[in-house]
Amino acid sequence: MAIRKIIALLGCIISAACLVNGGELSPRELAKIPPEIIIKPSGDLAKGTKPHQGIASIAVSADGGRVFVVWYGGSWGENANNYLMMSVSLDGGKTFGGVDVVVRSPHCGKVRCFDPALWRDPDGRIHLFWAQSGRVQFDGEGGVWTSVCEDPKNDPFKWSTPRRLAHGVMMNSPTVLKDGTWLYPIGIFYDNRSISSTPELMPGAHCYASSDGGKTLVWRGGFLPYNNEYPEHKFIELKDGRIWALARRNSRFAITKLERGELKILHGADAGICQSYSKDGGRTWSKPEISPISAPSTRFCITRLKSGNLLFVTNPTENLSWLEGKAAEKPLMKAYRNKLAAYISKDDGKTWLGGLEIEDRSGVSYPDASQSDDGSIFVCYDYARTTKQEVYCAKITEEDILSAKLVNPDSKLKILVNKGEVEFKKPGN
């Protein structure tokens, strides 16, 4: 078991067992207090951070004129000093300035804000989601929060009062079903069954639903992916009415190495993607199985485009048999967070076409995508999050992906969103 996981589980037990002496709230309770949303921050808050920042998400306004990118950092790693940073392009993703919005707990240092997700809803509003946890990476309960920008056309943008939606962490955007229901892919990290037997706090990939445009959420069900540590799942409504859930499948060990000065992460044979299906809108799920899609243990991006086709962005592996819907003949022995490629499926994920290389470097991860009404696809990701602290985006089209090269004159790769500037050091260093 990874040391980080053991530390997190110990933190869960400690947080659940007691309150701080003297009647003060525990870090877990402090994490339930709304954070600050700082518009147009100044000083160091207006800059990216090092030696760590990444885990980005993106949403573009319907007209394509405003591109919102959010990520987190604010410390030397993943801990209670983390906060969110957002940069907004006002020229359709051509250029980005500094940090335009900061989301930070008033108890930063005891509570971390992390793992953000951006999403444009059917009415054109931009939703920002993030998680809050007390002290440790995940305190066993966490909490998904949201704030909404009602009008993404006017700068400075106004964001609603932060609101806690549910326990857990949500790293991917909701899915709107044909009947108008919004499904939220909320996960519980690790195995914390010793902490609580409440269904919503059981480990795994959970499904919450809203029938009133996100005003209220109801827990429907969920499943336990193989090697559940960070589910990071996403829901896709298939044309036959089933819900297809894809979840990150975590390796039981990880090996890192430096190659030409860049960190590469290798994963074991049990890395990849886990999948499950629901025939009743997410209430019950089929037995989890290994997806034929070959991928390293990291977040991937899958979403349905305006054309009805599916977009899939991932770190490609040497095994490409999954493009034809075939499982690999040999187990995935190692896979890198190396390069990024985009694929298109015209048959609901049975087979995949194209293969546009969005990034050719190693140390790139956590892609996310959003599409404007004119068909432009915006993809964001982080690069060398612990050594260069850079966040990028790309503007592409379906035609580019299917051609496996840029054919649209307006398409562009490697658009720099932010580079870390403010140095954070470990206490005592």
Tokens representing 298 are: 């990291």
pLDDT at 166 over 90: yes
Question: Over the stretch 339-392, which tens digit does the pLDDT of each residue have?
Answer: 999 999 999 999 999 999 999 999 999 999 999 999 999 999 999 999 999 999
Please tell me what DSSP assigns to residue 412. Answer: E
- 18 confidence band (pLDDT: 50, 70, 90): very low
In a 13 Å sphere around the CA of 244, the CA atoms on its Cβ side amount to 17
pLDDT at position 360 is 96
pTM: 0.90
Tokens 């892919």 belong to: 185
Q: Which domains does the chain have, with CATH numbers?
A: 3-423 (2.120.10.10)
Name which of 23-32, 54-63, 106-115, 386-395 the model is least confident about.
23-32
> Exposed, middle or buried: residue 408 (CB in 10 Å: 0-12, 13-18, 19+)?
middle
pLDDT at position 328 is 67
Q: How far apart are CA 309 and CA 345, in angstroms?
A: 6
Q: How far apart are CA 207 and CA 175, in angstroms?
A: 11
- 267 confidence band (pLDDT: 50, 70, 90): very low
Q: How far apart are CA 261 and CA 425, in angstroms?
A: 21
- 89 confidence band (pLDDT: 50, 70, 90): very high
Selected residue with higher pLDDT from 250 and 90: 90
Name which of 131-140, 277-286, 366-375 the model is least confident about.
131-140
User: What's the mean pLDDT in 279-284?
Assistant: 98
pLDDT at position 319 is 82
Question: Over the stretch 190-231, which tens digit does the pLDDT of each residue have?
Answer: 766 555 678 899 999 999 999 999 999 999 999 999 877 889
pLDDT at 155 over 90: no
pLDDT at position 358 is 98
302, 236 contact by CB (below 8 A): yes
pLDDT at position 258 is 59
pLDDT at position 270 is 52
- Any long-range contacts for 75-79 (C-beta under 8 Å, 24+ apart)? 75/49, 75/424, 76/51, 76/52, 76/424, 76/425, 76/426, 77/51, 77/52, 77/386, 78/52, 78/112, 78/114, 78/137, 79/112, 79/136, 79/137
Please tell me what DSSP assigns to residue 107. Answer: T
pLDDT at position 90 is 97
Q: What integer best gives the mean pLDDT of the chain?
A: 89
pLDDT at position 229 is 81
